[in-house]
Amino acid sequence: MKNVSSSVGPILIVDDNRDIHADFRKVLCTANKDEALLDELDASVFGGEAPQAKVDYVLDSAFQGAEAVELARRARAAGTPYTLAFIDMRMPPGWDGLRTMQELKKVDPNLQFVVCSAYSDYTQDQVCERLEIRDGILFIRKPFDPADVRQIAAKLALPRSAAA
């Protein structure tokens, strides 16, 4: 039971489209209490080990760039800074993705970005140049492959304390 709640570093989803937030939740928050209970019963009835509980992620949603910056500031103040942020590029009427990342960087310089957009007004190089990121930045195109998102999350969204 303890494992179920063991969540890794909170992830920030920044997208003006609510459906996308739902998509991220479906992909990254797969843990189910009932399922875990059944797994335990299963092990007890049929013998054998119950499978390792799935890693679950804490997701925060921001629908506008400014909102995202505010959430990041609060998370940092609360001692639980975001490790990873998925950023959409086109988010009318407010800031676009680039501006949002620039502002987020000011609030939390260690925050890692993954651009997740169907259409970008900027190329990958332009974004790196503007953000002064040397080793490139991850771009995933919508529609994304849920497996990619899980891999990225698993790779990048480690708790900072664990990573340190």
Partner 1 sequence: MLARLMEGCTSMSLGQMVLRLSIAFGLLMAILVGVGLGGLDRMSKMNLAIQNVTDTRWAKVKLAREALHYSTVNNRISMQVFLMPDREQTETVLEQRAQNTEKISRILDQIESQIESDAERESFSRIRAARVPYVNSYLSALDLLIKDTEPERAREVMVTTALPNLLTYHKAYEDFVAFQGAGVDEGGNAAEAYYYTARRGVIGLIAFAVVVAAAIAVFVIFRIAGEISNRERAEHDLRTAQEVLEVRVRERTADLEQAQARLTEASRQAGMAEVASGVLHNVGNVLNSVNVAASVIAEKLKSSKVSRLGKAVALLQDHQADLGNFVMSDPHGKQIPEYLTQLSTLLAAENEQMVGEVSLMFKSIDHIKEVIHSQQSLARVGLKPEPVNAPELVDEALRINLVSLERHGVEIVRQFKPCPVACAEKHRVLQILVNLVSNAKKAVMNEGVAQRRIVFSTSPFVIDGKLFISICVEDSGIGIATEDLSRIFQHGFTRSEGGHGFGLHAAAIDAGRMGGKLSVDSPGIGRGATFTLTIPAIERRSEVHT
Q: In the complex, which residues of this chain contact partner 1 (CB under 8 A)?
A: 16-20, 22-23, 26-27, 34-35, 37-38, 41-42, 44-46, 64, 66, 90, 92-96, 99, 117-119, 121, 141-147
Taking the least distance from each CB to partner 1, the nearer of 15 and 81 is 15
Residues 83, 80: Cα–Cα separation, whole Å: 9
Beta carbon nearer to partner 1, 2 or 46: 46
Contact call for residues 128 and 137 (beta carbons, < 8 A): yes
- Of the two residues 40 and 125, which places its CB atom closer to partner 1 in the complex? 40
Please say whether the dihedral angle defined by the alpha carbons of residues 10, 159, 141 and 30, taken in this order, is positive or negative.
Answer: negative
Determine the 3-state secondary structure of 147 from DSSP.
Answer: helix
| Residue 136, both tokens | 């490139």
- Provide the residue type at 56 as one letter: D
Q: Nearest approach, Cβ of 51 to partner 1 (angstroms)?
A: 10
Q: How far is the CB of 39 from partner 1 (least distance, A)?
A: 10
Measured from the CB atom, the residue of 90 and 160 that comes closer to partner 1 is: 90
Question: E-assigned strands of the chain?
Answer: 7-14, 56-62, 84-87, 112-117, 138-141
Nearest distance in Å: CB 144, partner 1: 6
User: Closest separation between CB of residue 146 and partner 1, Å?
Assistant: 4
